[in-house]
Amino acid sequence: MKTVPEIDGKTGICGVMGDPVGHSVSPAMHNAAFRALGMNYVYLPFNVSAARLAGAVEGIRALNIAGMNVTIPHKVAVIPLLDEIDPLAQRIGAVNVIHNKAGRLIGGNTDAGGFLRLLEGRGIDAQGLQVAVLGAGGASRAVCFALASRGAEITILNRTAAGAARCAAEMAAFTGRAFEALEMNPANLARSLAKAELVVNATSIGMAPDVDKSPVSRELLGRRHTVVDIVYNPIKTRLMRDAEKAGAMSVGGLDMLAWQGALSFEIWTGRNAPLDLMRRAAAGALKSYED
Ligand code: ATR
């Protein structure tokens, strides 16, 4: 462990703004990384209401905050308040990271990159892979973008058929690939999981406190599937447990969470992030909330 500098006149400030942020694990994850690398930075939670979002963004400029993560419910609303949006974030339609580059605020998205790293880390080659993506919100779009860029064949299932169709049409326009769009009902789930090799839950179903819920009934899961749940609280979701019982490989949202954090860290500091340590810090913070 490196010597940790005291907070002083030169301390760089990063943070996360959202509402609520009281259970965010990002402060634990980033402060662990700063400490481990002996960097003179601190990462703080900022609880920002929707009504105060514009003021908070102006505050990043006024207070010269180095970098900020953006979380629910501000990932879309923050876009018009920034000076520049990188092309990936623009296409995904959501910003989860802001870089203060000499006073210019640049919005980016590390969820898509985080998901790609998760796949690579697990040795999953998406080329030609049949994938069922559940959900059509911001997280789903990041996942779809990542998978399409690697040549996957994607079916998007959403609570409403219209939501699935809108997401599929936009993703097709951005990636030049065809997407299938279906309403997420039992018949369509059965049909798409019969051909899917990879199943990704990008809905919030199964997130605490609804830990006994799963978007997919257990009989539909089998040995042929790899299941990725982007929900990370709880660390092991009902969907993951069911997948494992059915003989499938399952991956939880903690990997993607750690990766998006690591990529944010690298944008702000220009240094390689200590991924494993950040993942452990995030898991530790989650456990402490569970206890
Ligand atoms: P995120 O940024 O995490 O993607 P979001 O944009 O609010 O958050 O998207 C959440 C996704 O989970 C959406 O696809 C949402 O479906 P709707 O578009 O119909 O709202 C889906 N979702 C959330 N709760 C759900 C539930 N109980 N059943 C089915 N889908 C659900």
89: CA distance to ligand 1 center in Å?
A: 19
pLDDT at residue 1, rounded to an integer = 58
Give domain limits for the chain: 12-109+255-290, 112-252
* Out of 5-9, 54-58, 235-239, least confident range: 5-9
Ligand 1: distance of its center to the CA of 25 in Å?
21
**What integer best gives the mean pLDDT of the chain?**
95
Q: Token digits for 269?
A: 């500091």
Answer yes or no: same fold for 12-109+255-290 and 112-252. yes
pTM score > 0.85 for this model?
A: yes
pLDDT at residue 287, as a whole number: 87
Q: Report the share of the chain in percent with pLDDT over 70.
A: 99
Predicted pLDDT of residue 289: 78
Give, using CA atoms, the residue closest to atom 9 of ligand 1: 137
What's the pLDDT tens digit per position in 208-227? Answer: 999 999 999 999 999 999 99
- Our CA angle for 140, 72, 142, nearest 5°, is 20
List pLDDT tens digits, range 272-286: 999 999 999 999 999
Ligand 1 probe mutation, 95, 159, 232, most atoms within 8 A of CB: 159
pLDDT(82) > 80: yes
Query: Which residues participate in catalysis according to the annotation?
Result: 75
Return the CATH class of domain 112-252: alpha beta
User: Which among 172, 107, 168, 182 is positioned nearest to 140, based on CA atoms?
Assistant: 168
Which residues are within 8 A (CB) of 231 and not within 5 positions of it... i.e. 6 or more apart? 201, 204, 205, 206, 207, 237, 239, 252, 253
The yes-or-no verdict on residue 5 having pLDDT over 90 is no
Mean pLDDT value of segment 239-243: 98
pLDDT at 18: 96
Mutate to test the pocket of ligand 1, among 182, 203, 230 (most ligand atoms within 8 A of CB): 203
Atom of ligand 1 nearest to the CA of 163: 18
Distance of alpha carbon 133 from alpha carbon 283, whole angstroms: 25
Q: How many helices (H) and strands (E) does the chain have?
A: 10, 12
Task: Map 208-245 to HEC letters.
Answer: CCCCCCCCCCHHHCCCCCEEEECCCCCCCCHHHHHHHH
User: What's the full length of the chain, in residues?
Assistant: 291
Kindly report, residue by residue over 112-137, the tens digit of the pLDDT: 999 999 999 999 999 999 999 999 99
Q: From the CA of 159, how far away is ligand 1's center (Å)?
A: 8
The amino acid that residue 218 corresponds to is: R
Instruction: Please identify, by atom number, the ligand 1 atom nearest to the C-alpha of residue 203.
Output: 12
**Residue owning the nearest CA to atom 30 of ligand 1:** 159
Please compute the mean of the pLDDT values over residues 167-181 and round it to a whole number: 94
Asked whether the beta carbons of 225 and 196 are under 8 A apart, the reply is: yes
Question: What is residue 2's predicted lDDT score, i.e. its pLDDT?
Answer: 66
| Average confidence (pLDDT) over 158-184 | 96
Q: What is the pLDDT of residue 260?
A: 96
CATH of domain 12-109+255-290: 3.40.50.10860
Which of 77, 1, 78 lies closest to 39, judged by CA? 1
Structure tokens at 288: 């402490």
